[in-house]
Amino acid sequence: MLDLALVASVLALAAPAVPSPQDAAPAAAKSPPSAEELMQKVTALFEAIQKKYQGIDNPTDEQMKEIQADVAAQADAMLAGIDLAALDNERLSVLEPLIANSPKARDAMVAILAERAKAPTVAGFEAALKAAMMSARGDAGGAAALALLDHPAFMEGMETDDAGFFFDMVGDDISDAELAKRAAVLEKYATKFTPTASIGVLSGAEGYLRLARRGLPKDKADAARATVIAAVTARAESSTGREKKSLERLSKSLNGAAARGELIGFPAPAMTLDWVKRADGGSPFKSLADLKGRIVVLDFWATWCGPCVGSFPKVAEMRKHYREDQVEIVGVTSLQGMVAHQKRERVVCEGDAEKEKTELFAFMKDMGVTWTVAITKEDVFNPDYGIRGIPFVAILDRDGKVFKAGLHPADEDKIRAAVDELLAKP
């Protein structure tokens, strides 16, 4: 998939102007290009790609396939003649956006990194981590991530900038029994959490505790949880600015239902609904409790979130598919201080809740929203649901218990399968 955020991050590096990508494919050279030369070429390529597709805001599945194929072909052309195995880490980092969009180059890079990962050093761990991150696009991702726990330099390597991604790569496809085999290293990792730990370590707290809860006996998992929360809380108290806000949000998440292991199968965490509307102006309910007896699909979103808005067609199809008296679909958001209109100018509403509600209602009508939208007093990045990114879908059963969480609205098949399973139950 073309990662537009990745494109933006590449363009933000502001490399000097270079010839167009058609003229920029490197010829075989006696020595590898410098990192600066590679950055210029990568930047030029993504500028051209962004310009070519800038008019496609919400591509269809067919358009996305065409874009992916085009980007892969251009990435392959630019990488032709470059010996990836001869490049140092700095050059490889520059080329990662290209490698990520080229299945051919990605497979080659994983093989190279797997060889480097054999070194029992931090550099070896970094190579293993990068290989696992690239493999995460395929079926081998979970196994590759799990193997990192066995790397001799795991404890030291987890201090690196990318280490936080590790915990997210070990998914539900890895059994608790496999994690239990690594109980010693999971227990030891808790010692990393101190008030003076790096932000990289602290930011991985939720992911670490998720694995600890699955791989450690309850008493040891509880002890690890207490250590982590104490470290994050102490660091938040001594921090300022953005770091303080980030750690305070993390602290709330660590104390939320999801982090406690009390989300799936438990009553849905309470949310205070401040505003509930349909595009026809109706307010069909006042609280989630009013929806008991129906299956509820909660889609956490915001107007500024491109993937959220891009998934609207899928949500609309789902709304058509199910009877409203059996399945309620609720787009959950919170006051953001602005409404990022798609068909008119963005409107700043900071400090004016009523203005934001009016603008949000206009947004709904402009975008053809056919489902219910609710503003909650809780942040859309709701800590009880463990939400760190949106869109985020949770499904409640007829009794108001959480059946599934962490789905994407574009995962239509998975969502419908879950809803159909609940509908089939008496």
Helices (H), 12-151: 21-24, 35-52, 61-79, 89-100, 103-116, 122-135, 141-147
CA separation for the pair 101, 105 (Å, rounded)? 8
Cβ atoms of residues 360 and 244 within 8 Å = no
CATH number for position 392: 3.40.30.10
Q: Are residues 284 and 250 in the same domain?
A: no
Q: Are residues 43 and 177 in the same domain?
A: yes
For CA atoms 294, 297, 298, 299, give the dihedral sign.
negative
CA distances from 305 to 299, 391, 413, 422 (A): 12, 8, 22, 29
**Of 254, 288, 314, which one is at a domain's C-terminal end?**
254
262 part of a folded domain: no
Cβ-based neighbours of 218, under 8 Å, separated by 6 or more: none
264 part of a folded domain: no
388 alpha carbon, distance to own chain's centre = 7
Q: Which tokens in the block code for residue 248?
A: 């305070």
268 part of a folded domain: no
Q: Are residues 186 and 54 in the same domain?
A: yes
Q: Are residues 247 and 314 in the same domain?
A: no
Domain that holds residue 303: 273-424
Q: pLDDT tens digit string along 185-241?
A: 999 999 999 999 988 889 889 889 989 999 999 999 999 999 999 999 999 999 999
Q: Are residues 230 and 338 in the same domain?
A: no
How confident is the model at residue 10, as a pLDDT? 37
Q: Are residues 57 and 132 in the same domain?
A: yes
pLDDT at 411 over 90: no
Q: Are residues 221 and 284 in the same domain?
A: no
pLDDT at 130 over 70: yes
Q: Are residues 328 and 212 in the same domain?
A: no
Our count of domains for the chain comes to 2
Cβ atoms of residues 162 and 178 within 8 Å = no
In sequence order, what DSSP letters do the residues of 53-68 get, joined into one string? TTT-SS--HHHHHHHH
Q: Are residues 246 and 369 in the same domain?
A: no
Q: pLDDT tens digit string along 7-42?
A: 443 333 333 333 333 344 444 445 677 888 889 888
338 part of a folded domain: yes
344 part of a folded domain: yes
Question: What is the pTM assigned to this prediction?
Answer: 0.69
263 part of a folded domain: no
Q: pLDDT tens digit string along 356-410?
A: 999 999 999 999 999 999 999 999 999 999 998 899 999 999 999 999 999 998 8
CATH number for position 113: 1.25.40
**373 or 159: whose pLDDT is higher?**
373
Q: Are residues 341 and 234 in the same domain?
A: no
CA separation for the pair 277, 360 (Å, rounded)? 10
Omega into 391 within 30° of 0, i.e. cis?
yes
**Of 192, 223, 254, which one is at a domain's C-terminal end?**
254
Q: Are residues 281 and 345 in the same domain?
A: yes
266 part of a folded domain: no
